[in-house]
């Protein structure tokens, strides 16, 4: 009788355990990456919404300015103001008290700052110069909290009464 040639085919238990452990590690890493990715997407979405609210604030201030320059030029500089929108008159207006959060998340405010111009060139200057009563620097601010951290987005522009 000849001894039978036993060839082993298939996987041993150790090989299966090693492969399963490697797959488990890959699954954990992919899970962590997807959670990080989803968090970044959520944070980016909030940042994008804050940008849109800031842009809306600037546009609302342009509309208020077009109605009557004195609605803005009479405001105290470096003081927080708020916007309200009337669905009855379909108009924006300036408020001194915070009307509450937008979508339960965002707080919107704006400030006005005086502007000085160089007497010779007429260019805006940050020091010296003469006050320009026909130009204001406006800053739209949007604040929110994300994962227990305070976030802020600002847009600034000049508004003129020429």
DSSP code string of the chain:
-PPP-----S--HHHHHHHHHHHHHHHHHHHHHHHHHHHHHHHHHHHHHHHHHHHHHHHHHHHHHHH-THHHHTSPTT--BEEEEETTTTEEEEESS----BTTTBEEEEEEEEEEE-TTT--EESSSSEEEEEEEEEEEEEEEEETTEEEEEEEEEEEE--
Rounded alpha-carbon distances, angstroms, from residue 18 to 30, 31, 32, 87: 18, 20, 21, 66
pLDDT of residue 1: 60
Per-residue tens of pLDDT for the chain, all 162 residues: 655 655 555 668 888 888 888 888 888 888 777 776 666 666 778 989 999 999 999 999 999 999 899 889 889 999 999 999 999 999 999 999 999 999 999 999 999 999 999 988 988 898 888 999 999 999 999 999 998 889 999 999 999 998
Both tokens of 41, joined, read: 């997407």
Phi, psi dihedral angles at 128 (to 5 degrees): 75, -160
pLDDT of residue 27: 85
pLDDT of residue 115: 93
Instruction: Specify whether the CB–CB gap between 156 and 138 falls below 8 A.
Output: yes
pLDDT of residue 49: 93
pLDDT of residue 117: 92
Instruction: Specify whether the CB–CB gap between 67 and 154 falls below 8 A.
Output: no
Through-space distance between the first and last CA atoms of the chain, rounded to whole angstroms: 112
pLDDT of residue 3: 58
């Amino acid at each position: 009788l000849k001894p039978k040639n036993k060839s082993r085919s298939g996987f041993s238990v150790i090989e299966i355990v090693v492969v399963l452990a490697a797959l488990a590690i890959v699954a954990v890493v992919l899970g962590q990456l997807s959670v990080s990715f989803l968090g970044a997407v959520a944070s980016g979405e909030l940042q994008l919404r804050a940008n849109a609210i800031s842009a809306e604030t600037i546009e609302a201030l342009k509309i208020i300015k077009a109605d009557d320059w004195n609605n803005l030029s009479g405001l105290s500089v470096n003081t927080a103001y708020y916007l309200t929108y009337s669905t009855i008159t379909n108009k924006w207006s300036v408020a001194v008290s915070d009307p509450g959060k937008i979508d339960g998340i965002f707080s919107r405010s704006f400030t006005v700052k005086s502007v000085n111009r160089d007497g010779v060139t007429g260019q805006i200057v940050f020091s010296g110069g003469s006050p320009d009563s026909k130009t204001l620097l406006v800053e739209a601010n949007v604040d929110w909290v994300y994962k227990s951290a305070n976030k802020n987005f600002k847009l600034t522009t000049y508004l003129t009464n020429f």
